Structure 1
Amino acid sequence: MNRVFDRYASIVFLLIGVLFVWESRKISQSSYGSNVGPDIFPMGLGIVLILLSIRLFYEVMKAQSAVEGDQPRPDYKRFLLILGASILYAYFLEDIGYVIGTFVFLLFGFQVIKRGQWVTSLIVSAVFSYGIYFLFVKVLEGSLPGFPSWLNLG
């Protein structure tokens, strides 16, 4: 663990989280046809970022100094694969819908992180993508891109 970098990164992410929460309060409280306002997710993201940066700062302060030779090398290949998949996911989200896009993105991400375990990856990807869609659209009455019109799923 690079303690100096992690300490500064935790402070930067804490400030970004505070900025997210601060700016999300300026977004209107509700949107058309939705009980969940557009300010909820940026605020939630900001709160999660604040909590994770506090945890990182705590872990850095608690950690013993590590031997520099034991540092693992960054895995640029996996990082670039996930980054590319994230960009494609965001680009095609409206075209293929939330459920299909999230399912494919998660399945790809699970296989990049740990190859194999296809059954587990398929089940988790399917349950998570449809579960979040159902919770947000049906229960909270929010809006997400549904299934593509060419599937004729209604």
Structure 2
Amino acid sequence: MGLVYTSATLMLPEASVGRAFEPKIFPLMLGIILISMSISLLIRELKEQKETEKKEPSDVPFFKEAGFKKIGLTCLASIVYALLFDKAGYVISTIIFLELELLLFNGAKNWKINTAVAVLFSLFIYIVFSKLLGVYLPLTPGIWV
């Protein structure tokens, strides 16, 4: 992910005025930080795996099956989010995405809290970005906040 982000950063257009590379500096720093943190996390996980195998040799897989399911469902939810984003607007698509993710990680028993967080977060971010910061977000049909 970090490599894809960093390579996409290098494809950003150069500034026409001033220093040509300046618009790429901050995103490039973020990409490098993302790559280095990913490598650090991978090394730490490999060390923990070796320690676990030394203590009790067993069939401890590096990635557990439940982890693969969550990763797959998160990828699927992200694709649905991307497809809905322009058609349903920011608020509705973000509520659906957050609801699915919170359901996946918090479980169905916390559905009231999940729904409240998804709705309030989506509306709050929409108001902050569209009204206070002047950043365009796709309009949600029926919501004129």
TM-score normalised over the length of structure 1: 0.64
Alignment of 1:114-129 (within 5 A): 114-115=106-107, 116-129=109-122
Contact 1:21–1:47 (CA<8 Å) still a contact in 2? no
- The 3 A distance-change label for structure 1 pair 47 and 111 is farther
Equivalent of 1:55 in 24, 27, 37: 37
Report how far residue 104 of structure 1 moved: 1.1
* Per-residue deviation, 1:136: 1.7
> In the TM superposition, what are the counterparts of 1:130-141 in structure 2 within 5 Å?
130-141=123-134
Task: Please list, as runs of the form range in 1=range in 2, the aligned pairs for 1:84-99 lying within 5 A after superposition.
Answer: 84-99=76-91
- Once the two structures are superposed, what CA deviation does each residue of 1:13-61 show, in whole Å capped at 9, x if it has no partner? 443332232223x1789xxxxxxxxx89xx65x6544323211222444
Which ranges in structure 2 are unaligned for 5 or more consecutive residues? 17-22
RMSD of the alignment, in Å? 3.0
The answer to whether the 8 Å contact 1:99/1:130 transfers is yes
Report the identity percentage. 23
Match of 1:74 in 2: 65
Structure 1 spans left out of the alignment, 5+ residues: 1-12, 30-38
Cα separation, partners in 2 of 1:142 and 1:120, compared to 1, 3 Å: same
Contact persistence 2:3–2:35 (CA under 8 A): no
Kindly state the Cα deviation for residue 89 of structure 1 after the two structures are TM-superposed.
1.6
The CA distance in 1 between the partners of 2:14 and 2:122, in whole Å, is 26
Distance 1:28 1:140, change over 3 A: farther
Number of paired residues? 127
- Larger Cα Rg: Structure 1 or Structure 2? 2
**SS class of match (1:58):** helix
Higher helix share: 2
Matched, 1:142 2:132: no
TM-score, length basis structure 2:
0.68
